[in-house]
Amino acid sequence: MGSPTTPYLPDPRIHALGDAFYDVVEAADFPACTARFLNKRWAARVGLELDEGQWGAHFCRFEPLPDNLPDRLALKYHGHQFRVYNPEIGDGRGFLHAQLRDDRGRLLELGTKGSGQTPYSRHADGRLTLKGGVREVLATEMLEALGVNTSKSFALFETGEALERGDEPSPTRSAVLTRLSRGHIRIGTFQRLAFFEDADNIRALVRYCLENLYSESAGNDDSENALRLFDLVAEATAKLAASYLAAGFVHGVLNSDNINVTGESFDYGPWRFTPDWNPEFTAAYFDHYGLYAFGRQPEAIHWDLAQLAGCLALVTEAPGLSDVLAGWSERFEQSLVAALLWRLGVDRGDGDRELAGALIRSLATRDATIDRIFFDWRGGRDPGSETYGSEPFRALAAKLQGRERPQSHPYWSGSGPCSMHIDKVEAIWSAIADRDDWQPFNDKVTAVRLMGEAMEQDAPTA
């Protein structure tokens, strides 16, 4: 079961919280299990060296992994959906499958999407469309390559069912996805406990998060523990919001039940990458008022963080929480500078904020796509193209003098950037839907990973 370099280290911890946090459920019995994506590089990092049969057994039939969780656990949570509180949600088509350590000693979790009905499915079928699974793989691969703290798509199996959906041509093909994540505790997990005024379990969940998700020792003072956790979540979510902007990414549904307290991005639905630096660009067709538009994502995440503060106010002093909330914008601005300069590939130094401002003004010209600008100017090089003749780019070039860092990876000498705009995503899906041709999908994953390799190899110093 273990890989030659990383041992398999099962470490189920969730039972310490008790059944107030989950329900035991069964996985669906699918008529087929056809592997469409297996993340073998991350499997190696968590010590899972599996043959074809084992992949199917554990990630389509969902047989328990050795010495791991014996039951499948649908987690309980509430949340604000487009700012409307919903107490009737929870894991409606997924469950926690396993907990284990990675090659850095971190506790990670394997959770499912599309694995069948649960007590929280309401009137839904508990399934995932194959297109939805393909889109999630593409999103997570691209975001990981761009340095965003994201869940990893671990396995995608086509499951041989015909599904009816109102937002896709139907019947459509079915799938089940397993994600590898840094926990599945959402802001909505705390909201559910606050809804029931369950202060004791809020305290228990705070301790669990500190010890298992942030690897910190929880002290004897529950109030201090809660404030410490809130500070950690504030820092992590500020970095998350900044990384979305630097990546040109629009999550689409930043509801409080979709915000992980680790600040890890996850649970991808109607996501898109915006071609241009357009603050009003939206991903979800149902986001009629642009609540989660590209430029409003920091505001949305800060609003969700405020909901967590309201929950923790049951167990700690409100002024301390308010101070952390008030300081979030400064943390976000610092994180945005860091994220932009990291993607640009230049080292930190004096005048970073001014350089980041010049870069944003250049992106805002929309003289080229976000991906093209970062590609052409990577390492602080001035491409000298007529495309970049406007005043904002001349100012950017001036700010970059003395910051140049030659890039060594062959990717940077290619004809152009690897992008994941909606036209490319739809073309990949059309090949699958029309001809069952998976080559464009596989080629895209390979191209994205090549870009990620280049980003990592030529990353600037912190």
Q: Hey, which residues are catalytic here?
A: 257
CA distance 240 to 234: 10
Is 35 exposed, middle or buried, given 0-12, 13-18 or 19+ CB atoms closer than 10 A?
middle
CA distance readout (Å), 217 to 208, 211, 213, 236, 262: 10, 6, 11, 18, 16
Bond prior to 279 in cis (omega within 30° of 0)? no
DSSP annotation of 83: T
How far is C-alpha 59 from the geometric centre of its chain's CA atoms?
20
The total of other beta-carbon atoms located within 10 Å of residue 297's CB is 22
Q: Which residue in this structure is represented by tokens 């084992």?
A: 54
Find out whether 129 and 161 touch, Cβ atoms under 8 Å. no
The total of other beta-carbon atoms located within 10 Å of residue 115's CB is 29
Find out whether 128 and 267 touch, Cβ atoms under 8 Å. no
CA distance 372 to 388: 11
